Structure 1
Amino acid sequence: MKKFRKIGEALARTDIFFYTLIWLSVLTFVGTIAQRYVGLYQAQHTYFSSWYFWFGYLPLPGAYPAMWITFIGLVAKLIFKTRWVWKDSGTIIMHFGGALLLFGGFLTAYFSEEGNMAIMEGEKTQFVSDYHKVELTVVETTAKNEKDRVYAFSEGWLKEGEILEHKELPVRLEVQKYCENCRIRRRSGTGEMNPMGGGGADLSQFKGFAKRFEMLSAPSEVEAEQNRSGIQYRVRGADESDNKIFISFLYMDHDVEITAGDRTFRIVLQKEQRQVPFTVELVDFEQGLHPGTGMARSYKSVIHLIDGDIKEKRVIQMNEPLRYKGYTLFQSSFVQGQGPMMAQTSVFAVVKNMGRLFPYISSLIMCFGLLIHLGIQIPKLIRRRKETNA
């Protein structure tokens, strides 16, 4: 027990907390400067949402270990170095509020989800597209009265040499190349042999887009959402004419289609899809403009929120989000309608944040603790001043 207490008292040392705060200040400064050059998303993942990062050949701790040291030190201070007496009650409450704030930050960092939901007027969906993560999906096209079967492979599997397969799929995909941001270049040469790269590449092994273009890695964009990911893969197990090398990009105009016997598949590289426990149907979208200009003043979406047998009419507009089952839907933007129907598309930012309420709760607790501390200390100061004046 004494050994355990010594460890706790060592963790509660204020000098550890002091130097940790200095390092967090350094990370904040460096990360803020880095945003200009690598973008917000990359800077956040390099310095703040990481256990370590590389400074040349030197590994340095990221914000995760620094925050854990701060949290553990604060809890150790409460347990091992706190006098549980009334006159220190305000300080105890403030320390507890600070620990609760850090715990809420942990929930947000590890369990929060963000994405967007784009819905055309008259349509409905229950899927959210991630802002950054991508996935490769193999979609089996079925009869009209049946739902398509979707087999999704997350971004972690999209590495050179990986084999993407599923027990219910007759085909498998061998990943040859994947890049977070790609550019394309037309293949030189004609006929079945490509003279590029020494002995050349046999173009008969390529099909579709890959036969005319090659995929090259490009530097990441400052705004991560502008990256256009791509993947090159070889199909095995399909019909002979489709056992080729294909390329898929984000937002590709035409999906790769292959057949295996009497089964037809589409292969699509897309933003990672997450299913939410309810359905949103867009009834109407309204856009308000500033008088005499084409500038948008406000957006408003009238939706049906469908959850099982429940169907409610709701309105989502700027500064008035929809909150339901832990998810928050914000009116983000829209896509102007085109074609004869001119149906507009409303885009919602969808956030699930388990730690959303912790900053409010912990701030109230710390304010309450501060008031108690002042209530205890101010009368003492007044008495001392009176005694000094006397």
Structure 2
Amino acid sequence: MKNTEISKNQPRKIQKVGVIGGGQLAWMMADAAKKLGVDLIIQTPHKDDPAVSIAKDIILAEIDDGKATTKLANSCDVITFENEFINIYELSSLVKNNVIFRPSLSVLKPLLDKYEQLCYLQNLGLPVPNFWEWGKEIESLSFPLVLKARRHGYDGQGTFIVKDIESLKSQGNSEFLIQEFIPFEREVAVIAARGVTGEVKVYPLVETQQENQVCRRVFVLDENLELVKEIEAIAQTLLNSLEVVGVFGIEMFITKDKKVLINEIAPRTHNSGHYTLDASETSQFEQHLRAVCGLPLGSTALKTRGAVMVNLLGYEFGENYYLTKRQKLETIPNSSVWWYGKTESRPGRKLGHVTVLLDGENFETMRREGEAIANQIENIWYS
């Protein structure tokens, strides 16, 4: 790969973007790539992964296969990430050969281990729950607590709520961190992007609703929440401190006494931003590619007053495309059904999502409408 870092005097158009990871997040980059005239080259382990169908070229290999990423680098102008299950040390040698990663490996390094991530956020002065590394002091902790895998946890996997010392000892070890249990009032998230020039754009704050540590619903509502400016400042501080190029998802708690605490950082596009495909001037996927390609960032404004997004989660083991249910969901007014094309269903697996645009007169009206539509979607899907 030639060095394609954009200079102030002579920017070079990036035409081929390598993506490590071939799941639905890479798949949802397809429309944006076509719009921007960019080819996507995907490194992914399975020929039936969602992004295989939209890629210009495929390198079939595990995500952390450094040799495969070397091959990927020789086929594209810049490399980005669909997930964080990479071997950062394997990739470090490629940087010495002028391979460009966006976000850079130096950005990812303090974030991939969730304990190190919390340490980094704390050192920046950003608000986080109390947390502990696995060690002798566990005997003195108060319960309940949250036990989290330091690496490779996602969609609720690797996260447990423990209520006593016996459960903590039986489930935990040095591969886990311990986090204070927050009896929050609301869970919220924000998508933020930063370009190569340092320009930062923050999307509207959303409320997320989880079940078994998996996101079920996302509400985008025209709410004048007092904490929005504080949350936007958190996003600005984080992205600027790291010198991010790309899109990040930031998950947060709002406590009962109206304090904001960061739960986790996702150094990539994020489930809480899927609504942007239908409800925003610029989707999070287009925004990410714009940042990666050195293009100006797009508008984060909503095209509608609000929206609700509901994940279609697997609830059984087997192979099923759920065509009849998807057809029923498509009859809901102002709905868009996104089906990821996965061939296998299992409980909790994200198979698709539905976004419905809202246009209520005020926050309370849209909230009621959004809850009713979310219930309607789930009644169809889980019946």
TM-score by length of 1: 0.25
Higher relative contact order (CA 8 A, sep 6+): 1
